[in-house]
Amino acid sequence: MRTPAGVECRYFYGDYHRGKNHEECRLIGNTPPPGDWKPNLCKTCPVPAIIRANACEHMVLHGEVKRNFGIFKKQVVVSAYCTKSNQKVAEPQVGCGQCHPLPPEISKSLS
């Protein structure tokens, strides 16, 4: 579904039927303040970019709202876990490296 920021995200849900105006992020869920989700967080959320970059079915995302000390604005922080390799994913955009290995031609050029 399209977020208030105008980007597709599978975790965003909006119910606008018959005058309702209910929006939620199903990745973050209903957490109590100060970690609660607001629609303005969709503007800086990294989840849609991660989903576009890596569509691995084994990667599980976990998101939470945090406030940085230097920046007093809330932001979504995402961590990822691969269920196939049973390890934490350091870069969710790239993946764990075991589910979808790079072709030999590309890996040789990176070395």
For position 107, what pLDDT does the model report? Answer: 63
Asked whether the predicted pLDDT for residue 47 surpasses 90, the reply is: yes
Domains contained in the chain, number: 1
Nearest to 48 by CA among 66, 63, 32, 67: 63
60: helix, strand or coil: strand
Whole-model pTM: value is 0.80
- For residue 11, give every residue at least 6 positions away whose Cβ sits within 8 Å of its Cβ, in sequence order, or none: 25, 26, 27, 28, 47, 61, 63
pLDDT tens digit sequence for 57-68: 999 999 999 887
Task: Confirm whether 48 is domain-assigned.
Answer: yes
Q: How confident is the model at residue 87, as a pLDDT?
A: 94
Q: Does residue 57 belong to any structural domain of this protein?
A: yes
Please check the confidence at residue 69 and state whether its pLDDT lies above 80. no
The answer to whether position 7 is within a domain reads no
| Tens-digit pLDDT profile for residues 25-34 | 999 988 888 7
Give the span between the Cα atoms of 45 and 47, in whole angstroms.
6
Q: What is the pLDDT of residue 89?
A: 93
For residue 105, the enclosing domain spans: 28-110
